Amino acid sequence: MAAPPTPNTSAAAAPGSGCGSVRLLRSSARSRLPFAAAARPGGRPATVLRARALPAPPELVEQSVNTIRFLAVDAVEKAQSGHPGLPMGCAPLGHVLFDEFLRFNPKNPALFDRDRFVLSAGHGCMLQYALLHLAGYDSVTMDDLKAFRQWRSRTPGHPENFETPGVEVTTGPLGQGFANAVGLALAEKHLAARFNKTDLKIVDHYTYVILGDGCQMEGVSNEAASLAGHWDLGKLIAFYDDNHISIDGNTDIAFTEDILARYEALGWHTIWVKNGNTGYDDIRAAIKEAKGAKDKPTLIKVTTTIGFGSPNKANTYSVHGSALGSKEVEATRRNLRWLHEPFHVPGDVKRHWSHHIDEGASLEAQWNAKFAEYEKKYHQEAAELKSIISGELPSGWENALPTYTPESSSDATRNLSQQCLNSLAKVIPGFLGGSADLATSNMTLLMMFGDFQRDTPEQRNIRFGVREHGMGAICNGIAVHSPGLIPYCATFFVFTDYMRAAIRLSALSESGVIFVMTHDSIGLGEDGPTHQPVEQLFSIRAMPNILMLRPSDGNETSGAYKIAVLNRKTPSIIALSRQKLPQLKGTSVDAVSKGGYIISDNSSGNKPDLILIGTGSELEIAEKAADELRKEGSTVRVVSLVCWELFEEQPDKYKESVLPSEVTSRISIEAGVTFGWEKYIGQKGKAIGIDHFGVSAPAGKIYKELGLTVENVIAAAKAL
């Protein structure tokens, strides 16, 4: 491990001498203009296609690297909050990658064939903000840098893709960004295999990611790395910031494994840059070597000094997550000979980095010209790719979803879900996904496609293996790659607990993943309480910006998928039964969009004696109980509350028409915890559910013993 730099030694080493709701408000924050005409500043069309500029001379590289370091130091100091250590240590890597290798257009962050960059170690976000600022992104002005971590700032405390154009994914929880990058690289490989032609390579970009020691320790990164190696994602290049420091101190207290050996065993190509502080030539050579290793993803271990340049805090945990302090900032300025006021960008650095604006416009013009040629030669493929790039769904796609009548045969909603998945895959070019080793149980195979594998990446069935957490995070990466890529992933509903962090980030980062969750209740039976979800429904309902849908039959299952496809900035969880359910009279594909609606009612004037509310497999119980009560002279309304979130979005007038406030006799029935149902049944209502874990037994026996029966609903109604 390198020692902290001292004046006039490592800090000044010669460059190159060596041997990184809210949903609606956020939806407009990130512009997507993949087919916009390239333009130079001032709106003039780009007519001259420029080659990539040569690397800056060594003195200017050093000046640029120190600019990055001190923009980070000054922003953290001004905010008195943040993580200066990683940006100070990774500034050389950041400069070389962004200035010399990364292909992008700062004036159009949504350019389709751009390289993707992910900062998995999101706490070091000032590195990314400084680089975006220097590169000319309008989303990170000097004022934005000065507003780091402040209210409504475009430079929040961790990168947020919905807040800052140029940021590809939302990172912070360690390891998630790395797994997202695997998803981005998967998307590139899949689209390249489907659409590239021998004469026209229309999809051709790299995914780069910087991860730290913490990312390496988190299990999700190993799940994702294992899959990346299995899939031979050769255009994925990961930089491991090997600085040996975490919040608790030196990593040797808990983390001593050989990372390169682990990644080699996972099928990665590995490189070690031993001097990440000043070894610019070594960093360049490593990236070139990685780009040449096309049959494997590459991990580049870059050994750096956290807080490089700080005389008293470099190489210590104290520089990881707090401001240096005014005295140490001044000492660092002297040590690195940076005798400038805070937030200073030297003119030479500005002039050099401005080349990205012209180069980005040229890159876009080249791609647009190539796509125009592609469209003439390969019209059908171009139309499909354009749909994926733009997110525009084919006309009439929803008509592919199946519909049912009460005479249709009973079936498990997991089977009805498979009909929906296969119908959608036929008409939506960007529809793909898979399961965590449960495809034949989740019923998620796309019958007309094969498996996405290293040699068949054009196929659309993704085999994730038993890696729920990695699966969810990878799908988040697929979803943010292009607006028209619609990934789904599946497991048993109870195992949302294994992937909850990825689901939460899907909601936060506006990634419209469809989470297909089968075996949704005690109805799965004999596998017992370890596999019977009881609290999961409410726990997901408590999460912002996610749709928790629990359909009761075929029409509602089709309606759930229609909603899930339409909501591209909100993920959906569709909870599905293992047991067979009847096709109910009164259910509707379109009514699912309301979240809650009336399926039967023998009252008039919006004044039933009783309202029964159910979801999923228990809606049948509510309907049967209503039939019996009606025979005894009661007026009963049955409401399907298939999605609470959608119901809450409806106008008050509609909600009152479904659940009139003056009708206080209400009963809910759902095979899960009753917590939360008081919102819909009120103080006088009765919630029938399960406020304890389940039990191993046949499903029918469990329902009877736990009181989820027609008889119990009738008894509760008479007791109100």
What are the tens digits of pLDDT across the range 496-514?
A: 999 999 999 999 999 999 9
Q: Is the pLDDT of residue 356 over 90?
A: yes
User: How would residue 493 be classed by pLDDT, with cut points 50, 70 and 90?
Assistant: very high
Cα 683 versus chain centre, distance: 39
Report how far residue 674's alpha carbon sits from residue 668's, in angstroms, rounded to the nearest whole number.
Answer: 9
In angstroms, what CA-CA distances link 683 with 364, 665, 687?
61, 10, 10
- Calculate mean pLDDT across residues 117-127: 98
Q: Is 578 labelled as part of a ligand binding site?
A: yes
Buried b (16+ CB within 10 A) or exposed e, 367-385: bbeebeebeeebeebbebb
Residue 37, pLDDT > 80, answer: no
% of the chain beyond a pLDDT of 70? 93
- Is residue 481 part of an annotated ligand binding site? no
Per residue, the 3-state secondary structure of 552-596, as one string, reads CCHHHHHHHHHHHHHCCCCCEEEECCCCEECCCCCCCCHHHHHCC
Q: How confident is the model at residue 50 (pLDDT cuts 50, 70, 90)?
A: low
Domain 397-576: give its CATH architecture: 3-Layer(aba) Sandwich (3.40)
Cβ neighbourhood burial of 514 (10 Å; 0-12, 13-18, 19+): buried
**528 CB contacts (<8 Å, ≥6 apart)?**
694, 695, 696
Examine the pLDDT at 30 and tell me if it is beyond 50. no
CATH topology for the 80-360 domain: Rossmann fold (3.40.50)
Give the integer Cα–Cα distance in Å for 711 and 625: 7
656 catalytic per annotation: no
Give me the torsion for CA of 531, 532, 538, 543, rounded to 10°.
20
Of the residues 468, 556, 620, 670, which is catalytic?
Answer: 468
The answer to whether 214 is annotated as binding is: yes
Q: Is 336 annotated as a binding residue?
A: no
320 is in an annotated binding site: yes
Whether pLDDT at 674 is above 80: yes
Say how far apart CA 533 and CA 3 lie, in whole Å.
52
pLDDT band, residue 54 (cuts 50/70/90)? confident
Q: Has 694 been labeled as part of a binding site?
A: no
Report the alpha-carbon distance of residue 106 to residue 274 in Å, rounded.
31
Closest CA to 38 of 263, 453, 372: 372
> Going by DSSP bridges, is the β-strand pair 245-246/236-242 parallel, antiparallel, or unpaired?
unpaired
Q: In what order do the strands lie in the sheet with 451-452?
A: 451-452, 461-463, 431-435, 486-492, 514-518, 572-575, 547-549
Torsion angle, alpha carbons of 155, 156, 157, 158, to 10: -90
**pTM of structure:** 0.93
116 is in an annotated binding site: no
Residue 333 has pLDDT above 80, yes or no: yes
Q: Which helix (H) or strand (E) holds 411?
A: strand 411-412
Look up tokens 């989740």; give the residue.
Answer: 442
Query: Does residue 28 register a pLDDT over 70?
Result: no
Structural tokens at position 394? 């084919």
Is residue 111 within 8 A of residue 364, CB to CB? The reply is yes
Mean pLDDT of 438-466: 98
Residue 519 is labelled as binding a ligand: yes
pLDDT, tens only, 405-414: 999 999 999 9
- Does the structure show a pLDDT above 50 at 38? no
User: What pLDDT digit, counting tens, does each position of 454-478 carry?
Assistant: 999 999 999 999 999 999 999 999 9
Residues 410 and 41: their CA atoms lie apart, in Å, by 62
The CA distances from residue 311 to 7, 10, 274, 302, 327, in Å, are: 8, 11, 21, 21, 11
Q: CA-to-CA distance for 419 and 404, rounded, in angstroms? A: 12
Can you tell me the mean pLDDT for 448-453?
98
- Tell me the mean pLDDT in the region 27-42: 40
Of residues 576 and 40, more confidence is placed in 576
Q: Is 174 marked within a binding site?
A: yes
pLDDT surpasses 60 at 31: no
| Cβ-proximal residues to 26 (8 Å cutoff; 6+ apart), any chain | 162, 163, 510, 569
Task: Using the predicted structure, report yes or no on whether residue 338 has a pLDDT greater than 60.
Answer: yes
pLDDT value at 230 more than 80: yes
CATH class of the 594-718 domain in this structure:
alpha beta
Phi and psi at residue 93, to the nearest 5°: -60, -45
Domain 397-576 identical in fold to domain 594-718: yes
Sign of CA dihedral 712, 713, 718, 719: positive
Give the three-class secondary structure for 450. coil
Q: How far apart are CA 257 and CA 580, in angstroms?
A: 49
Per-residue model confidence (pLDDT) at position 44: 38
* Banded model confidence at residue 51, pLDDT cuts 50, 70, 90: low
Q: Where are the domains of the chain?
A: 80-360, 397-576, 594-718
* Nearest in space to 239 (alpha carbons), one of 289, 190, 204, 192: 289
| Band of pLDDT at residue 53, cut at 50, 70 and 90 | confident
**Does residue 9 have a pLDDT over 70?**
no
Give the pLDDT confidence of 164-220 residue by residue, as tens digits: 999 999 999 999 999 999 999 999 999 999 999 999 999 999 999 999 999 999 999
430 marked among binding-site residues: no
243 is in an annotated binding site: yes
Please write the tens of the pLDDT for every residue from 238-271.
Answer: 999 999 999 999 999 999 999 999 999 999 999 9
Please name which of 627, 624, 639, 617 lies closest in space to residue 689, comparing C-alpha atoms. Answer: 617
325 is in an annotated binding site: no
Burial of 21 from C-beta contacts in 10 A (0-12 / 13-18 / 19+): exposed
205 is in an annotated binding site: no
With 90 as the cut, is the pLDDT of residue 4 above it? no
Average pLDDT of the segment spanning 149-153: 97
pLDDT above 50: residue 371: yes
pLDDT of 100: 97
Mean pLDDT of the chain: 93
66 annotated binding-site participant: no
Q: Tell me what pLDDT residue 583 has.
A: 98
